[in-house]
């Protein structure tokens, strides 16, 4: 099998590796058929994230099931599935209470496609080994094309997680989204509008992303980030930029919620006393992934959202080194499945 190895920015190669085998009765071997970059991968590929190669890159894919252990019940060979980005045991208290991204059994942060978090491989590779397959795999609904939901392991449910539950708590709320780091902000606009936000305001400096935010129904504002952008009950910072994060915090109404979903690799000085006075509820963290995948897929299957506009190109897996080296918002590498669905 081949694994796509990130060595350094501009240096991605296919590397021959030993074929993967099942190592336990609850495992599966899956073959990615639609893989894409997480917004974090874009930063890694540009040399703007603190991860150095070589390592097998990628943690967002739809795959076909190639082999399953004898205790796997929910999927079988030929099924088309989303593969959770995180590595989880399925049975610890955190996995059992909707926090499998913080599984207690495995190394903190264990996941595909990053170095130093366990040798789990990357989702651009020809195959990956999935432990606890019944817990980690979610079938893609019939009629949903894999390349449309290639991001359904991570960025897509990440955006769902920080929009829909908040809108259920405050129906019709106005939402502010600070864009800048890639797809999550645009998916957040999409979910916010589909989820009943009466108004979504989107800030960014990139014309292409601003056009996409307009496509998804946002009022867009181009240009330098202001000190404050108004007063919103729900604010999402997906900028990965300190000035935008601070604008987000200043733009939440009393008792409102700010979710910061873009990785800030440098310390940011937070106006904690102002936040104390206004009662800002601030949340940051990686998306929970697994618990939100099925509902996210259902929103796509029902036609309530269509994430396809964010996909910047669809290319063949063989071309991955060149395609991923290019600046591209959300490239998807695709290939047909080998097996017939069950
Ligand atoms: Zn990610
Ligand atoms: Zn666990």
305: CATH:
3.90.180.10
Confidence of residue 119 (pLDDT cuts 50, 70, 90): confident
- pLDDT at residue 342 greater than cutoff 80: no
Q: 334 has which bridge partners? A: 34, 316
How big is the chain, counted in residues?
Answer: 342
Name the 3-class secondary structure at 166. Answer: helix
**Same domain assignment for residues 7 and 99:** yes
Ligand lying closest to the C-alpha of residue 89: 2
For residue 124, give Cα distances in angstroms to 23, 94, 192, 196, 326: 21, 28, 30, 35, 16
Q: Distance, CA 153 to ligand 1 centroid (Å)?
A: 8
Q: Give the Å distance between the CA of 136 and the centre of ligand 2.
A: 11
Kindly tell me if the per-residue pLDDT of 164 is higher than 70.
yes
pLDDT of the residue at 262: 80
Ligand positioned closest to the Cα atom of 112? 1
- Whether 339 maps to a domain, the answer reads no
In which order are the strands placed within the sheet that holds 55-56? 11-16, 2-8, 55-56
Same domain, 82 and 164: no
Q: What CA–CA distance (Å, rounded) separates 263 from 51? A: 13
Residue 254 lies in a domain: yes
Q: Looking at the domain assignment, is residue 274 inside a domain? A: yes
Q: Is 252 helix (H, G, I), strand (E, B) or coil?
A: strand
- End-to-end, the C-alpha distance of the chain in Å comes to 24
Residues 52 and 116 in one domain: yes
Q: Note whether residue 181 is domain-resident.
A: yes
Which pLDDT tens digit goes with each residue over 95-118?
999 999 999 999 999 999 999 888
**193 assigned to some structural domain:** yes
Nearest CA to 44 among 209, 204, 181?
A: 181
Question: What is the predicted pLDDT for the residue at 341?
Answer: 58
CB 290 within 8 Å of CB 133: no
Whether residues 244 and 163 fall in one domain: yes
33 and 94 in a single domain? The answer is yes
Q: What's the gap in Å between 74 CA and the centre of ligand 2?
A: 19
For residues 37 and 120, state if they share a domain: yes
pLDDT > 70? residue 241 = yes
CA distance 185 to 158: 10
Ligand nearest to the CA of 286: 1
What is the reported pLDDT for 181? 84
CA dist 230 and 116 (Å) reads 41
Q: Which domain holds residue 79?
A: 2-151+289-334
List the CATH number of the domain containing 187. Answer: 3.40.50.720
Tell me the mean pLDDT in the region 281-300: 94
Q: How far is the CA of 224 from the centre of ligand 2 (A)?
A: 43
For 46-94, write each residue's pLDDT tens digit: 999 999 999 999 999 999 999 999 999 999 999 999 999 999 999 999 9
200 and 145 belong to one structural domain = no
Confirm whether 342 is domain-assigned. no
Dump pLDDT digits (tens) for 181-212.
899 999 999 999 999 999 999 999 999 999 99
Q: Are 281 and 232 in contact (CB under 8 A)?
A: no
Shared domain check, 227 and 147: no
Same domain flag for 226 and 317: no
For residue 60, the surrounding DSSP H or E stretch is strand 60-68
Query: Domain end: 242, 265, 284, which one?
Result: 284
Cα of 254 from ligand 1 centre, angstroms: 31
Are 247 and 228 contacting, i.e. CB atoms less than 8 angstroms apart? yes
Among 246, 262, 284, the domain boundary falls at 284
In a domain, 125, yes or no: yes
Burial code of 4-30, b = ≥16 C-beta within 10 A, e = fewer?
Answer: bbbeeeeebebeeeeebebeeebbbbb
29-38: pLDDT as tens digits: 999 999 999 9
User: To the nearest whole number, what is the mean pLDDT of the chain?
Assistant: 95
Summarize pLDDT for 300-332 with one digit per residue, the tens. Answer: 999 999 999 999 999 999 999 999 999 899 999
Residues 76 and 171 in one domain: no
Ligand nearest to the CA of 156: 1
166/180 same-domain check: yes
Q: How far apart are CA 79 and CA 206, in angstroms?
A: 38
* Shared domain check, 215 and 168: yes
CB 150 within 8 A of CB 332: yes
Note whether residue 95 is domain-resident. yes
The CA 302 to ligand 2 mean position distance, Å, reads: 31
Spatial separation of the C-alpha atoms in residues 160 and 142, rounded to whole Å: 21
How many folded domains does the chain comprise?
2
Do 6 and 54 contact (CB within 8 A), yes or no?
yes
Ligand 2 centroid vs 76 CA: distance in angstroms? 23
């Amino acid at each position: 099998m081949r694994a796509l190895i990130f060595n350094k920015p501009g240096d991605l190669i296919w590397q021959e590796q030993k074929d993967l085998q099942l190592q336990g009765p609850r495992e599966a071997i899956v073959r990615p058929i639609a893989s894409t970059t997480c917004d974090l991968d874009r930063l890694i590929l540009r040399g703007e994230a603190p991860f150095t190669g070589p390592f097998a890159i990628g943690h967002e894919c739809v795959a076909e099931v190639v082999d399953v252990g004898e205790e796997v019940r929910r999927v079988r060979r030929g099924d088309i599935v989303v593969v959770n980005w995180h590595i989880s045991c399925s049975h610890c208290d955190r996995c059992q209470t909707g926090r499998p991204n913080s599984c207690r059994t495995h190394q903190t942060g264990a996941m595909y496609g990053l170095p130093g978090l366990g040798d789990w491989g990357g989702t651009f590779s020809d195959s990956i080994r999935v432990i606890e397959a019944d817990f980690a795999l979610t079938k893609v609904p019939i009629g949903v094309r894999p390349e449309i939901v290639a991001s359904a392991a991570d960025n897509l449910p990440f955006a769902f997680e920080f929009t829909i539950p908040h809108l259920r708590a405050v129906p019709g709320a106005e939402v502010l989204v600070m864009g800048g780091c890639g797809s999550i902000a645009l998916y957040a606009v999409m979910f916010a509008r589909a989820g009943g936000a009466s108004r979504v305001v989107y800030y960014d400096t990139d014309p292409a992303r601003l056009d996409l935010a307009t496509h998804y129904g946002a009022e867009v504002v181009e240009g330098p980030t202001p000190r404050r952008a108004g007063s919103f009950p729900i604010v999402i910072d997906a900028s990965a930029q300190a000035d935008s994060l601070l604008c987000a915090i200043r733009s939440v109404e009393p008792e409102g919620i700010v979710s910061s979903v873009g990785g800030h690799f440098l310390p940011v000085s937070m106006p904690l006393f102002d936040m104390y006075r206004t009662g800002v509820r601030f949340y940051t963290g990686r998306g929970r992934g697994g618990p939100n995948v099925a509902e996210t897929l259902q929103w796509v299957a029902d036609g309530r959202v269509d994430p396809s506009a964010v996909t910047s190109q669809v290319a063949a897996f063989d071309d991955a080194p060149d395609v991923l080296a290019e600046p591209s918002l959300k490239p998807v590498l695709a290939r047909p499945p080998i097996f017939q669905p069950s």
